[in-house]
Structure 1
């Protein structure tokens, strides 16, 4: 898994006009192929009168899952240049749909490539991107006597505490950058006189 990747933080649309054709590029985060396909269908329903709704998406931090569609434009002139922009700019977990309303003037193959790729690039510039980092998911088990102070110390240290559960022991769930795990374990042992136990339960992006 990649340590970090770039994605779009929100859904948004950028509109441009080229030789009287309107190009509306709508971008959105997408954590799965199903989410990307559902988004594409939603945009198509929103623009039933459009000439084309071309798409591209890149799923996964490594970008291995990706697909593009020309929706009736000449092969390779729409979805592929859209996808190439996403891959070149290393944007992941993202779906792009460019909706075209034909203006009566043909653009030619080269013009279409520039129009569709340019629409995605301009939309990315307008919406901006966010960086997501891979963090280890850690569960800390500690006795009730030390739990309150430990939770306060964790938050004061800037740790991302996600939840606290009370049972025979208190379980604190938090995220820690993987490269800081060894230092965190040492800090935890010092803060609790060695009484707390930390277990890595997985990894997730934040």
Structure 2
């Protein structure tokens, strides 16, 4: 899986459409629980609003781990789904979008609502800062003590993260590195250690 982008910092944006005010919040979130926590925060803060519509997407927008949306009382398909569509198209992974609407007395109609909610999130997205993320793979390396220094040097070359080290009969290192580098790293490690190394890939 290639690199993907995620929201780096929170964004707030206001849009006025036919006297209705649309306040958009883009909030970085890393899982469903965090998204729902922030959603509750905005609901409590804007209790007097007509609608608090939302959408979130976790992970790579092209292959999301999870995603969801809500129209919060607006006509079906006019708010949450268009908001999620903007997050996907703008590649705003790990992002919760909340649009708080204060009704201005003029009905927008279904098409007008879709355009307004889409524009609200799209304009907020223009202000967003993104961070590129490389999917990571976990690897457990078991080898003789004598090989530890060489293994650590190779880890540094691949910019891998050392998560844990255990010393028993030999040394066992738990590491995390870019998934795209995994095959090359394993090949070089076997060559470096002349095959005298055991590799396992934990699922999590």
For 1:77, the equivalent position in structure 2 comes to: 78
Structure 2: how far apart are the matches of 1:59 and 1:134?
A: 13
Equivalent residues in 2 for 1:150-165 (5 A)?
150-155=151-156, 157-165=157-165
What is the TM-score normalised by the length of structure 1?
0.80
What is the TM-score normalised by the length of structure 2?
0.81
Equivalent residues in 2 for 1:14-33 (5 A)?
14-33=13-32
For 1:166, the equivalent position in structure 2 comes to: 166
For structure 1, which segment, 67-76 or 114-123, has the greater mean C-alpha deviation from structure 2 after superposition? 67-76
Cα contact 1:159–1:175 (8 A) shared by 2: no
**TM-fit CA distance, 1:25:** 1.2
For 1:51, the equivalent position in structure 2 comes to: 50
Deviations 1:117-148 (A, max 9, x none): 11111222211333333222111123333323
For 2:39, the equivalent position in structure 1 comes to: 40
Cα contact 1:138–1:202 (8 A) shared by 2: no
For 2:97, the equivalent position in structure 1 comes to: 96
Structure 2: how far apart are the matches of 1:148 and 1:164?
A: 15
Cα contact 2:99–2:117 (8 A) shared by 1: yes
**TM-fit CA distance, 1:98:** 0.3
SS at match of 1:202: coil
Structure 2: how far apart are the matches of 1:190 and 1:66?
A: 42
Structure 1: how far apart are the matches of 2:187 and 2:85?
A: 45
Kindly report structure 1 stretches of 4+ aligned residues shifted beyond 6 Å. Answer: none
For 1:180, the equivalent position in structure 2 comes to: 181
Q: Which runs of 5+ in 2 are unaligned?
A: none
For 1:86, the equivalent position in structure 2 comes to: 87
Q: Which runs of 5+ in 1 are unaligned?
A: none
Structure 2: how far apart are the matches of 1:12 and 1:118?
A: 15
Instruction: Report the number of matched residues.
Output: 201
- Structure 1 pair 130–52 and aligned structure 2 pair: CA distance change class (3 A): same
- Structure 1 pair 135–73 and aligned structure 2 pair: CA distance change class (3 A): same
For 2:196, the equivalent position in structure 1 comes to: 195
